[in-house]
Amino acid sequence: MLWSVLLALHLGPVSPTVPNRQPQLAANQALVAMTFASAEGIWLAKSTDGGRSWGGPSKVADLPKLLAGRHRGPRVVISGDALLVSAIPTGSDLFCWRSTDGGRTWSKPVVINDKPTSAREGLHAMAADGEGHVASAWLDDRMPGGKRLWGAFSEDGGKTWGRNVLLYESASGTICQCCHPSLLSLGHGEFAVMWRNVMDGSRDFYVMRLKGGKAAGPAVKQGQGTWKLDACPMDGGGMVLDGSDIVTAWRREHNVFLARPGRPETDLGMGQDVALAEGRKGPVAVWVSGKTVRLFEAGKVSPQALSENGAFPNVVALPDGTVLAAWEEAGGIATKRIE
């Protein structure tokens, strides 16, 4: 098999003393947007040629005490003509900035969580479609006894947000306290949300469909195995829509797994910090094993690593079926197209 991974591009650190951290990607027909954290600020870089080249990063906002470790940090989505970037400062709220001129200027931030400081854990997700529907989900502390999964929805491309909604509450009293949730747009205002649960001494991932700004089905456990653990691994996962199936990838114990409804889970190998996108040949997963950024594509694990010195990869599907990957490397952000 030929592994068509192009040479990496490297975006150097925007600060001489602080590395670029936690890249996140979004794309539509005209634009690839990448946000990342650095020097208590949120930055955005753009590509108009599918990640083959990048313009110089510009600052979205100064944000003292920005949370940016272990999958915290900013998120970016594109909804219609709007670019949205969200982030959470330490001990604070979930802020969202909006741009309708391609990121040249940004609105004042809107606070999404309607209970002050309830999103202070800093772990959240955001997803959007091209029709103006946007969803946000986060680990919330507003209720005593443990963390719940809360969300909010916008019908106007992130200009305004509805009241917060309790999406999921575990019978154990808490969901996993430090693993980031994931959101996936299913189109036409429908979404799926994934989180690591706490049930009967296990910490496994569950997926639930959302419609009309609320839960629209049961929480479904992912994979056949379970992880008995009395601690938080601080590691989330990813989702893609492959045909009509919601395919997920996540870590259990020391390995990364990929799960498809009705089929045995696939063990991708040792590692953590997995991200997932849908390419022309099906799901594409990237993760780290030590400092090596690994790749699963076309149903197999590639013998060729994306990087031997990377961390916290992210991926996004491009309109032509290519997948673009980005990760932390050498103080900056490296990117590669996976054809």
> Which pLDDT tens digit goes with each residue over 273-311?
999 999 999 999 999 999 999 999 999 999 999 999 999
Pull the structure tokens for residue 40.
Answer: 């208590």
In the prediction, which pLDDT does 66 show?
A: 85
Q: Residue 5 — very low, low, confident or very high, per pLDDT cuts 50/70/90?
A: very low
**9-338 has which CATH code?**
2.120.10.10
Please name which of 313, 311, 281 lies closest in space to residue 297, comparing C-alpha atoms.
281
* Gap between the Cα atoms of 206 and 287, Å rounded: 20
Task: Please count the other Cβ atoms lying within 10 Å of the Cβ belonging to residue 119.
Answer: 27
- Encoded amino acid at 314, one letter: N
pLDDT(65) > 90: no
> Which residues are CB-neighbours of 10 under 8 A, at least 6 positions away?
329, 330, 332, 333, 334, 335
Digit-coded pLDDT (tens) for 200-235: 999 999 999 999 999 999 999 999 999 999 999 999
* Gap between the Cα atoms of 16 and 69, Å rounded: 19
Task: List for the chain the helix, strand, coil content (%; round to 5).
Answer: 0, 50, 50
Cα angle 134, 136, 141; round to 5: 160
> Which residues are CB-neighbours of 72 under 8 A, at least 6 positions away?
22, 88, 122, 123, 180
Separation of first and last alpha carbons in the chain: 13
Q: Is the Cβ–Cβ distance between 153 and 133 less than 8 Å?
A: yes
3-class secondary structure, 140: strand
Question: What pTM, to 2 d.p., does this model score?
Answer: 0.95
Q: Residue 188 — very low, low, confident or very high, per pLDDT cuts 50/70/90?
A: very high
Q: Residue 3 — very low, low, confident or very high, per pLDDT cuts 50/70/90?
A: very low
- Encoded amino acid at 244, one letter: S
> Which residues are CB-neighbours of 130 under 8 A, at least 6 positions away?
28, 78, 79, 80
DSSP string covering 225-248: ---B-SS-----EEEEEETTEEEE
- Encoded amino acid at 195, one letter: W
Domain boundaries, the chain: 9-338
* Gap between the Cα atoms of 22 and 316, Å rounded: 14
In the prediction, which pLDDT does 7 show?
A: 61
